[in-house]
Structure 1
Amino acid sequence: MSNIVLKVKEPKSYKPKFLSIVIILSIILLCISIVASLALGSRVVQLEELIAGLFQLDMSSYGVSVVQERIPRTIFSLFCGAALGVSGALMQAVTRNPIADPSILGVNTGAALFVVGGIAFFNISTASQFITLAIIGAMITAIFVYGIGSMGRAGATPLKLVLAGAATSAALSSLITAIMLPRSYVMDQFRFWQVGSVGAGTWSSVTTFLPILIIGIILAIVSASALNALALGDEVATGQGVRTGYLRMIAAFSGVILCGAATALAGPIAFVGLLSTHLIRLILGPDLRYLIPLSAISGAIILTIADVTGRLIGGTGEVEAGVVTAFIGAPILILLATRMKVRSL
């Protein structure tokens, strides 16, 4: 990674006091979302039950057992939200597209197609198999969409990438339906997974996801300074010592494995990357040294709160987190598309 950048001019630094306030508020909101996820749902947990559940003080209480059941789900939700937040930031940086997101560019759908195909034709059943196929599908789809969007004189413009992603996503969704319809066992197993939910989060899925999350975020943070130079254009970045092709490959790989792993385990949850990245950019600006780690935190907060909201409005059942994020994210995407020019970052 040391060869990516020789000398890169860093963006203007933020005032330490302001940055510290943003970080502290983000951590406070993260803690609030964690407490809400553990305490709220069809069964509201009291404070003493929450404390007892966290420290395993009284396992005979029903409220304590509820907290114990919600702990892996909460951690899983945080991991998936962080992965999607960082993936969205990376895809926006690599494509210089302000409305890029794994769901908008079709990467989620490509991962879902390979998982459904693996179940239908190869009888896969383990989390590691899901993740492997999802990452392969996400990578192939990302390469395909970028290749289609790069055709023509202007190259990979933001509008062409979005159109290529939308068309690819629609085609792949049709293939998923074609695979599932004649196979009732596949449809029954994954009709809720396709909506996107963190309700199936277990300690097994958490431990499987953790190494990929760490690798993806480390690669993203190491690439942040060089991606700042890339935002100025390929010629400027090359003049500052950035190996643009190598950088794009590393950043895209990081974004794809994060998105693919999250999709494999939680389903194709949409708009988390778009929402989290735009929120942090609105507050701190485009500097990816801060945008990437804080997008991870905001993505974790957004998905966890979406999960809690789905539990609360679902009554005795629950509304999947993917439905909640789509309900919030779709109007914001329309607003972004209508009130700003689809231009490079």
Structure 2
Amino acid sequence: MSRVNGSSPQEFILLGFSDRPWLELPLFVVFLVSYILTIFGNMAIILVSRLDAKLHTPMYFFLTNLSLLDLCYTTSTVPQMLINIRSTRKVISYSGCVAQLFIFLALGCTECFLLGVMSFDRFVAICRPLHYSVIMHQRLCLQLAAACWISGFSNSVLQSTWTLQMPRCGHKEVDHFFCEIPALLKLSCVDTTAIKAEQFFISVIFLVIPVSVILVSYAFIVQAVLRIRSAEGRRKAFGTCGSHLIVVMLFYGTAIYMYLQPPSPASKDRGKMVSLFYGIITPMLNPLIYTLRNKEVKGAFRRLIARNWSFMSFLNV
């Protein structure tokens, strides 16, 4: 392909922290360990949610969707990052970059709406407990999940197309670990003010609106919990929502910092680290947060282990 007049290069160079080679080995270890924990943690949640009948509820249906998102989210970037860190040529093919950009953005936007839906589920469970099974019926849960996935992928098609159509005049050095919109827009050789304004507006929709829904939901939840006379009941209600709130703060806090702050040369490296946090660390922490703080999930793990142990003992007999 030609590399001038804005046409696409055959490959991109992902700079990462290549100007600081002493960081590469520690980063490789951190990325590898985080990825392994993400795979096993999220796979465990998916399996236990599907295999334990007591977890066949809307809350764990949405949690399974979140774990699936996190699995695909990290797999779209981390393997390529691990290869590049240990390689002298830190490149990614043009098609690989397009796929990475599309998948990472689609799953990130899907998660934005999914966390909002999960807060609505907690609101109904605590504020309308007697009507919970009527309101959060299976069809509505499927519709809400489908809406999250469709909106995320539709937005990714739109924003990825805008970004990739910007002329780059042969520029191919991406100052990042993976192909992400802010880093790719910096390669453009034309004014990107309009597309950045459009990106900002869409980011408000996918970040600020779900956060507002979550805050309103939890305002009602706190009011309802404070009316519970039993201290044990209040503790259980807050415990049910605590895991979700921690995930929300980790994910939205870093994403809002990345997409809604004014661009600044001083924040270049900080932006890379923030991207790594919500792209790698948060998906790793999600299953740990939900399992360590959730008695139902821990109980389901124990039942699953006991069932398998009994089965193995039967085979040995």
TM-score, scaled to structure 1: 0.33
Q: Which has the higher helix share?
A: 2
* Higher RCO, Cα 8 Å, sep 6+: 1
Largest Rg, 1 or 2: 2
